[in-house]
Amino acid sequence: MEGMTSHVAIERNIDWHTAEVRDRALTVRLTGEPSKEWRARLEAVLARLDQPGNPWGRVHAKKRRIKVADVRDGYEPDLRHFLEAAILQTNADFAADSPAAADERSEDDQRMTDAFRASADSPADA
């Protein structure tokens, strides 16, 4: 997840109420306003999860939507699961990178974190 610049973890989801298939192509909107970094990560996750022989064509993450080419009848649940898994992974990647995730630690964990960081301020004894 190098290079991610997410400052606030805002989950994006698929708005299945907007799903529409035309000429065997599925288009469905995403909730929220996905950043370029989030969309790029989603594209990478989709590429990693894609398997030869999937019963649908290429999946593209656009600015506010996902488009899937060549959807086949009867595979709607499989495609839905595939897309939901990609969204879930992308959201998890950004949540782990957010400052808010770092704040969700116990007082003991925070005290020990501070102790380790304080040792970085002084030169180590050689």
| pLDDT tens for each residue of 25-55 | 999 999 988 888 999 999 999 999 888 889 9
Average pLDDT estimate for 11-18: 93
Question: 84-90 contacts: CB < 8 A, separation 24 or more?
Answer: 84/14, 85/49, 86/42, 86/45, 86/46, 86/49, 86/59, 87/12, 87/13, 87/14, 87/30, 87/42, 89/45, 89/49, 90/12, 90/38, 90/41, 90/42, 90/45
pLDDT, one tens digit per residue, over 62-120 is 889 999 999 999 999 999 999 999 999 999 988 765 555 445 567 777 777 777 777 67
Q: What is the pLDDT of residue 103?
A: 53
Q: What pTM, to 2 d.p., does this model score? A: 0.70
